[in-house]
Amino acid sequence: MRAVVLLVSVAAIAGSPAGNRVPCAEADSLVDHLGPREIGVGEARRAAAIGALAVSLNPAGLPLTSELVFEGGYGYRMADHASLVGVSACDSTNPVPGCFFYQYVSASPELDGMEHHRRAHTAGLTLSRHIAERVIIGGDVKYFDYESGVPGEKDASGFNWGVGALVRLTDIINLGIAGYNLWGAESVQYPRAIGAGVLVRPLVPLSASFDAVWNLDTEGSTGRYGGGAEWFFSGGNGQVGYPIRAGALHDVATDGTYVTAGLGIATMKLGVDVAVRYQVGGGDELLIIGSLRVFGPRGTTGGP
């Protein structure tokens, strides 16, 4: 990979407490490894996972654009007082686009009137490549180190691998699929899971997407289904944009329903995005995320 710039993405450890039960990650909670752009549209961008989105959603999405970019952000999840930070480096200007990434989270859930501490480090690499004009494949490898002071949770560490694919059916429709933690060290905080999504761009400024993710390690009902839309207002002779995002999602395993919203500003050199996810059914979790992107030289856009 050619010289890369630093990219910081918002990330979170899987899982959040509900009531007095011991918090336990389920595949559905993999979505907490997301940033403000995908959260704003109901966590639905696996069919257009460009830049830092490729780290958490689908490594095959990187070749959709040709750019160097870095992103800095911070997220806070109030339910367990989690501070969410991460770093990664992406370069999609070469024949084999890739990202380096590192993520950290520190959380203090309260259970049975006592506060416990959890922390996790995750670092890894994603790579992707066109295998046909409209077909892209990708993969990732990561090392995780999870430590918990929560009763009933086990510390865990080790390597894990995942894969992804993306198909541009037409110039306005993308399909994406990804498998997470498919091979390697086992941990309930990093379960095996499958995610899939579709993105449609009927107009240049408008995109709509719908995604789903399923836990392969959990017995019983599982699934997290979300979708949303983004309208990209342009100004300054096309040099400045103002994305507005909204979405909703439902988690089957926790019976939680959420609404999401986000907005931002983007120029040829900078991008600022903020988003919120608020639980309106099955709890009252609130997640707030913001990020700053700085772009290097831009190439061409390969799809929606």
Ordered by where they begin, the domains of the chain are 27-301 (2.40.160.40)
Average pLDDT of the residues in 129-150: 94
Q: Contact 36/116 with Cβ under 8 angstroms?
A: no
Query: What DSSP state is assigned to residue 7?
Result: B
Tell me: the pLDDT tens digits for 254-285?
899 999 999 999 998 999 999 999 999 988 89
pLDDT above 60: residue 241:
yes
Tell me: the pLDDT tens digits for 183-198?
999 888 888 999 999 9
Residue 5 C-alpha from the chain's centroid: 20
How far is Cα 116 from Cα 107, in angstroms, rounded to an integer?
8
Q: What is the pLDDT of residue 250?
A: 95
53 vs 235, more confident: 53
pLDDT above 50: residue 8:
no
pLDDT above 80: residue 32:
no
Q: How does the average pLDDT of the chain come out, rounded?
A: 85
How far is Cα 81 from Cα 77, in angstroms, rounded to an integer?
6
Q: What is the pLDDT of residue 55?
A: 92
Three-class SS state of 17 = coil
Backbone angles phi, psi at 126, to 5 degrees: -120, 145
pLDDT above 70: residue 26:
no
Q: b/e per residue, 136-154, with b = 16+ CB within 10 A?
A: bbbbbbbbbebebebeebe
Average pLDDT of the residues in 202-214: 96
How far is Cα 138 from Cα 259, in angstroms, rounded to an integer?
30
pLDDT above 90: residue 148:
no
Average pLDDT of the residues in 21-42: 65
How distant, in Å, are the alpha carbons of 101, 136, 205 from that of 243?
Answer: 25, 26, 9
Neighbouring-strand partners of residue 120: 105, 146
Which band of pLDDT confidence, cut at 50, 70 and 90, is reported for residue 72? confident
DSSP structure string for 252-278: TTTTEEEEEEEEEEEESSEEEEEEEEE
Q: What is the pLDDT of residue 236?
A: 67
Q: Which residues, 6+ apart, have CB-to-CB distance to 5 below 8 Å?
A: 68, 69, 70, 89, 91, 294, 296
Q: What is the pLDDT of residue 92?
A: 94
Tell me: the pLDDT tens digits for 79-121?
888 888 878 889 999 999 999 999 888 888 877 778 888 888 9
Average pLDDT of the residues in 224-238: 90
Q: Which of 10-19, 177-186, 214-223, 272-281 has the lowest mean pLDDT?
A: 10-19
How distant, in Å, are the alpha carbons of 85, 185, 216 from that of 132?
Answer: 35, 32, 30
DSSP structure string for 145-201: EEEE-STTPPPEEEEEEEEEEEEE-SSSEEEEEEEEEEEE---TTS--EEEEEEEEE
Q: What is the pLDDT of residue 202?
A: 96
Q: What is the pLDDT of residue 235?
A: 79
Query: What DSSP state is assigned to residue 63?
Result: G
Residue 219's CB: how many other CB atoms inside 10 A?
A: 6
Tokens of residue 191, six digits: 């379960």
Q: Contact 243/234 with Cβ under 8 angstroms?
A: no
Q: Contact 53/204 with Cβ under 8 angstroms?
A: no
Q: What is the pLDDT of residue 205?
A: 95
pLDDT above 80: residue 304:
no
